[in-house]
Amino acid sequence: MSEPRLITSLTNDTVKAVRALHMRKEREATGRFLAEGLKFIGEALDQGRTPTLLMVGMEARPHPLLDRAMAETRAAGGEVVTVTHPILEKISRRDNPQTVLGVFDQTFVKLADIDPASAPCWVALEQVRDPGNLGTIIRTADSAGCGGVILIGDCVDPYSVEAVRATMGSVFAVSIARCTAEAFLEWRASWPGSVIGTRLDATHGYRDAPVQAPALILMGNEQAGLTDTLAAACDVNVKIPMRGRADSLNLAVATGVMVYAVTDGIAAGA
């Protein structure tokens, strides 16, 4: 096996192309995104996803997973390159960067291709704007065994570097769909289980509403919450009680509370 190509210049075209993936317009133009760290690369490989480009720092230590990543990247037609520490810093925008970076193709599923019965619970987010929240929700959905996350309307890019970091690798394990509100409402009409919204003005508590699997949990954005239009499309709206001084929860925390309440309720009734 030949040695990887060595890149030392910060102005190298490959380096500039990878750095550009921090910009949404470049991710949309190329259909690719950046993932950092050997753990992330391992999660991808376990899900049958191989990098189109694998960047390995000169100081990276030998590791069986790194050997696997290099071999599988080459076998799938991707390129493996060796880069200097300054290049890793420049690409990651961190002083202490990961020693392995991967460029991957984005994947989105179509609403029409979703099989609701393939999982007990799904999550839909309306106009979520914070990449950290979105990445954490994707990770939570993975942890709870949800089928996927559906992004409705003008949402933050799930493949932004910040969102991908927050998923801790779950971006490779969770199906992600995106659609307009109109397309979602049309598709939701045939959903076979319960559709549950969250609203501060709801009368049902988050543990009180009857739930029929597969459940679809609908969450609004960080500032305005769920819109009236999508709230009206839910079978039931519920609220999480605020017992202290704070009048709301972080979106990722609230979604986590809802996901585990619903999945635990479904499991208990099975």
CATH number, span 111-269: 3.40.1280.10
Indicate the domain borders of the chain.
5-105, 111-269
Name the residue with tokens 């490779």.
Answer: 172
Q: Which has more confidence, 236 or 202?
A: 236
Who wins on pLDDT, 50 or 270?
50
pLDDT band at residue 174, thresholds of 50, 70 and 90?
Answer: very high
Look up the CATH number of domain 5-105. Answer: 3.30.1330.30
Q: Which residue has the tokens 């950290």?
A: 132
Q: What is the pLDDT of residue 270?
A: 54
Q: Which of 94, 101, 72, 97 is closest to 14 using CA atoms?
A: 101
d(CA 52, CA 59): 22
Using CA atoms, how far apart are residues 118 and 91, in angstroms rounded to an integer?
Answer: 38
Give the C-alpha separation, 145 to 126, whole Å: 21
Tens digit of each residue's pLDDT (9 = 90 or more) over 220-266: 998 888 999 999 999 999 998 878 888 778 999 999 999 999 999 88
pTM (two decimals): 0.94
Residues 6+ apart with CB under 8 A from 31: 105, 106
CB contact burial 40-65 (16+ within 10 A = b; e otherwise): bbbbbbeeebbbebbbbbeebeeeee
The tokens describing 230, both together, are 């999508």
Whether the CB-CB separation of 126 and 216 falls below 8 Å is answered with: no
